[in-house]
Structure 1
């Protein structure tokens, strides 16, 4: 590792009591040891990530299911909205650990936890994202990198909107009805001529906008595949509009990026513009990013 930052977790009575519950119906000594250490590893990572401000959902992890742990070598920990990490126990003085086929996919990260002989402490050493079957300790990425990586995923998940769900009546928190943001005179009739779902969200671009508030208004219109009689695409209209004033500032930019991060559409405001907009179609399940920027401020 480039930086030897580690974090040691005290393995309390609670940690061992939980491990005892996980193994109480296991008779095979090797399996019992495996499940016990896995439970302590999950406890350690959960303790650390919660302390660092990340939202975990240990109750949704397979590692808490008595049947699942008997069938597989599994030590997963669910993180709210973003996925699972695998908590990998490392015995004292070992310099490597193995990733089993049971957990070699569908994990955000594989986090190594090394125990003392007494099992009174678990030290979190680092992580890997895409491991080989055997991982050397000196190949681990740092805890600083782990926190940055998981925090970025958490922020992205919180800001992500599933527009296809809007047509089913499921709209994420933070989006308002446009009537709550604008007067009818501001909106006009541009949004009222189709069966659509329309929501708006006020954006904070800071002092760069000189106290002018703006909102991102999104309209999602269902398109139906006439042959299969099912929803296959949606028309999407993205607008940026000023709130409480008539005109946008000049050179405010609206961009659309595809899933690879490439800009595929963009527009910017000119002096006197009441709004700027981009219209496009997307298939259900397709991902894209919307960026609104002004000078040095960018909201994605």
Structure 2
């Protein structure tokens, strides 16, 4: 990576990032949509790399651009900045002078970053940012510097993170950033094999009652430029009108056979006290099972080095 005198930021586009973009692209049969998703994915990954280098916490898994269903319906390249909101990362080809902003992302964005690719698609340069969509077009020569962008982030009030309502999953109301395991398996064919046996075991351990609902989200617990993507899966098995069994599972993705070493998975009670935990050491997956009553809160926390992720759930 290198920083120019105009405060642009250039990063290499690794083969791993191209692989991820290809996986998303293969989810779409329409060639125009597939190409759009490919470039959007590369743009988001470049901005994600930059923000991690700047110490800004992001969650790509909570972004609409990570959802193949949303990709089909919208031209979206958003990246969730934890506690602040969604940043739109718009791809720009090497000969273009204008950043096109599709109507579906004119609102609900804290800003827009232009990402320009070289002709070989081996490098991406963050050209600058704009606070607004400006009626769908932003002239590249009118972009503000990345330095201003980082300063702007420090001035945005922190959002209060709302809990994930698990009881709503039972009525097919699912929170943004979560998807069916089948949808995730479409993206991650390697993961499909790993879920067959655990699902059978879960059914046996619950007196042959099937998992009523199972949703998944993709996370990246890598620090700085390092990418360590994993899948977090939460399954629900109602036991009665008051109680429900909850299954929490983490698995490697992107062709990885094992979870990152020293990845720690914890279940916290409503006071933030760890009540269950496990650590990956040459581990293919981690699974924690427990029961909860409707109306109770708990959290799932994962840590890997100095990177951590916490999600709050309301049963």
What is the TM-score of this pair, normalised by structure 1? 0.50
**2:74 is the alignment partner of 1:72:** yes
Q: Which has the larger radius of gyration?
A: 1
- The residue aligned with 1:296 is none
Select the structure with the greater relative contact order (CA < 8 A; seq sep ≥ 6): 2
Which runs of 5 or more structure 2 residues have no equivalent in the other structure? 163-315
How far residue 4 of structure 1 moved from its aligned partner, in angstroms, is 1.9
Given that residues 10 and 125 in structure 2 are in contact (C-alpha distance below 8 angstroms), is that contact kept between their aligned partners in structure 1?
yes
**2:148 is the alignment partner of 1:139:** no
Match of 2:131 among 116, 129, 132: 129
Matched pairs, number: 157
Given that residues 54 and 151 in structure 1 are in contact (C-alpha distance below 8 angstroms), is that contact kept between their aligned partners in structure 2?
no
**Could you give the per-residue CA deviations for residues 172-229 of structure 1, whole angstroms, max 9, x where no partner exists?**
xxxxxxxxxxxxxxxxxxxxxxxxxxxxxxxxxxxxxxxxxxxxxxxxxxxxxxxxxx
- Cα distance in structure 1, aligned partners of 2:63 and 2:114: 17
The runs of 4+ residues in structure 1 deviating greater than 3 Å are: none
How far residue 30 of structure 1 moved from its aligned partner, in angstroms, is 1.2
Given that residues 49 and 55 in structure 1 are in contact (C-alpha distance below 8 angstroms), is that contact kept between their aligned partners in structure 2?
yes
- The residue aligned with 1:89 is 91
Change (3 A) 1:37 1:79: same
- Cα distance in structure 1, aligned partners of 2:154 and 2:21: 28
SS in 1 for 2:58: coil
**Could you give the per-residue CA deviations for residues 27-68 of structure 1, whole angstroms, max 9, x where no partner exists?**
222111111000000000000001001010111001011111
- Cα distance in structure 1, aligned partners of 2:34 and 2:89: 17
How far residue 151 of structure 1 moved from its aligned partner, in angstroms, is 2.5
**CA RMSD for the aligned pairs?**
1.8
SS in 1 for 2:158: helix
How far residue 23 of structure 1 moved from its aligned partner, in angstroms, is 1.1
- Cα distance in structure 1, aligned partners of 2:31 and 2:89: 21
Given that residues 63 and 78 in structure 2 are in contact (C-alpha distance below 8 angstroms), is that contact kept between their aligned partners in structure 1?
yes
Given that residues 83 and 161 in structure 2 are in contact (C-alpha distance below 8 angstroms), is that contact kept between their aligned partners in structure 1?
no
What is the TM-score of this pair, normalised by structure 2? 0.48
